[in-house]
Amino acid sequence: MQANVNLDQILEELDATGTLEGIQGVIVKLRNAFGVDHIIYHWVDSAGEQYGCGTYSDEWRDHYIAQSYIRVDPVVIGCFQRFHPVDWKRLDWSGKPARAFLADAMKHGVGNQGFSIPIRGPNGQFALFTVNHTCDDAEWARFSELNSRELILIAHYFNRKALEFEPERKGEQSRALSPREIDAMTLLAMGYSRAQVADTLAISEHTLRVYIESARFKLGAHNTTHAVARALSRGLIIV
């Protein structure tokens, strides 16, 4: 498992796609670039319609639905109760239904390790972005430490793209801030320090200040905290 990711190129391709099939193509490339078994993005829009893309087999997807596993899946249950990313080992797998579910999932090619990012959007939208792999705990810990920040950023990019498919959603709302301004505001909303945001986006703190001040001006905010709050309330960023 060795990440070889040209993040800017992948995100540019995601921005350019206008179809659900295009999102699926990007997620396959992302899986290959990170060198993991699976990456999955699943969301429920504000009307309750469910969508998904990812690299699990069709057989497992159909089996999951047929068995109504959504009722016992610790990943779905645990992430719906959380706002922050979670390693699967921190979820509750102690119950008999959960253990049986995991055994069945692994028989269908689902890995023993996972990292899931819950995302909440405007008007009740909920999404999960998951990276899944088979390896020992030490290897997974190394991978998570190296890649978790990028994966969180990518998850929010996927969600922003998914929101374009929301019925009656106004496209101009998502263009109110530039992509880099959205990145900066999103990471600040997630609790990153300015230094961490600059490091994650591979820019200087001076450049970051330019993005933040530009976003603050566009949002008519008094300070950075006010800007983040306004961006969240208007659905311009999703955390």
Three-state SS letters, 1-42: CCCCCCHHHHHHHHHHCCCHHHHHHHHHHHHHHHCCCEEEEE
Answer yes or no: is 239 within a domain. no
With a cut of 90, say whether residue 8 has pLDDT above it: no
- Residue 176 has what pLDDT? 67
Phi, psi of 87 (to 5 degrees): -80, 140
Identify whether residues 121 and 217 lie together within a single domain. Answer: no
DSSP codes of every residue in 72-114: T-HHHHHHHT-SS-EEGGGS---SHHHHHHHHHHHHTT--SEE
- Residue 93 has what pLDDT? 94
Identify whether residues 65 and 117 lie together within a single domain. Answer: yes
Last residue of a domain, one of 115, 136, 163: 163
181-236 residue pLDDT tens: 999 999 999 889 999 999 999 998 888 988 898 888 788 787 888 888 888 877 88
**Does residue 236 sit in helix, strand or coil?**
coil
- Residue 5 has what pLDDT? 62
| Cα diameter, the chain | 54
Q: Which tokens go with 87?
A: 């390693």
Identify whether residues 82 and 195 lie together within a single domain. Answer: no
Answer yes or no: is 53 within a domain. yes
103-160 residue pLDDT tens: 999 999 999 999 999 887 666 678 899 999 999 999 999 999 999 888 888 888 888 7
Q: How many domains does one find in the chain?
A: 2
Residue 156 · residue 238 · CB < 8 Å = yes
Global pTM value: 0.69
Distance in angstroms (rounded) separating the CA atoms of residues 86 and 130: 10
CB-based burial label for 206 (10 Å; 0-12, 13-18, 19+): exposed
State the CATH number of the domain containing residue 218.
1.10.10.10
Last residue of a domain, one of 112, 132, 163: 163
- Residue 57 has what pLDDT? 93
Q: Tell the residue number behind the tokens 């391709």, with chain if given.
A: 13
Answer yes or no: is 238 within a domain. no
Identify whether residues 145 and 202 lie together within a single domain. Answer: no
Answer yes or no: is 226 within a domain. yes
Distance in angstroms (rounded) separating the CA atoms of residues 44 and 51: 6
- Residue 103 has what pLDDT? 96
Last residue of a domain, one of 163, 198, 218: 163
- Residue 174 has what pLDDT? 39
Q: Tell the residue number behind the tokens 């309750």, with chain if given.
A: 48
Find the domain containing 199 and state its range: 172-233
Identify whether residues 65 and 127 lie together within a single domain. Answer: yes
Whole-angstrom CA distances from 182 to 146, 173, 177, 237 are 23, 12, 6, 6
- Residue 162 has what pLDDT? 77
- Measure CA of the first residue to CA of the last residue in the chain; give whole Å: 28
Answer yes or no: is 1 within a domain. no
Answer yes or no: is 117 within a domain. yes
Distance in angstroms (rounded) separating the CA atoms of residues 56 and 104: 13
Answer yes or no: is 181 within a domain. yes
Mean pLDDT of the chain: 85
Q: How confident is the model at residue 6 (pLDDT cuts 50, 70, 90)?
A: confident
Mean per-residue pLDDT, 15-25: 85
Identify whether residues 112 and 29 lie together within a single domain. Answer: yes
